[in-house]
Amino acid sequence: MFQKILRTKSSKTTILIRLMVGSVFLSEGIQKFLFPSIRGIGRFEKIGLPSPEFLAAFVGTFEIVCGVLILIGLLTRLASIPTLIIMLVAIATTKSAILFNDGFWVMMHASRTDWAMLLGSLFLIIKGGGNWSFDKKLSNYKL
């Protein structure tokens, strides 16, 4: 089972997706703690999520940990599952109001980064960490 999680395609270009997804999630997670009123607790309160103090820290921690794991390509598939869920929730909670109030094209413009992170996370779940990843190195070992 563990070998299946680590198994990855030998693509040398997957690192580009890992760098994009990992760096954005790492940065966003750190900002939830550095700028809580606009990126963390305050943002969660504004969109009406329950327990914003807990959720902001919870999501920020997941973004940091998963961002680092994705960047180094360790447990890439597992680390990409929470990032996918975070993006689905982000789109549902922040972009649906834009869609209903301002229309499809305004929503698409406002959510371009969200869609890129969602699809990047999905790509990493499907393909794994790629050639230059700890997943690739660990999958070569026989357990």
* Cα–Cα distance for residue pair 61/141, rounded to 1 Å: 30
Q: What is the DSSP string of 64-102?
A: HHHHHHHHHTSSHHHHHHHHHHHHHHHIIIIIHHHHHHH
Q: Which residue's entry shows tokens 């929730």?
A: 89
- Category of 48 on φ-ψ map: left (φ > 0), alpha (ψ -120 to 50) or beta: left
109, exposed or middle or buried, with CB in 10 Å at 0-12, 13-18, 19+? exposed
Q: To the nearest whole percent, how much of the chain has pLDDT over 70?
A: 97
Q: pLDDT tens digits, residue range 44-68?
A: 999 999 999 999 999 999 999 999 9
For position 7, what pLDDT does the model report?
79
Tokens of 17: 């997706």
> Using an 8 Å Cβ cutoff, are 92 and 55 in contact?
no
Q: pLDDT tens digits, residue range 77-118?
A: 999 999 999 999 999 999 999 999 999 999 999 999 999 999
For position 5, what pLDDT does the model report?
76
pLDDT (average), residues 39-44: 96
pLDDT (average), residues 119-129: 96
Q: Which residue's entry shows tokens 């390509």?
A: 73
Task: Indicate whether this model's pTM tops 0.85.
Answer: yes
pLDDT (average), residues 108-134: 96
φ and ψ of 132, to 5 deg = -100, 70
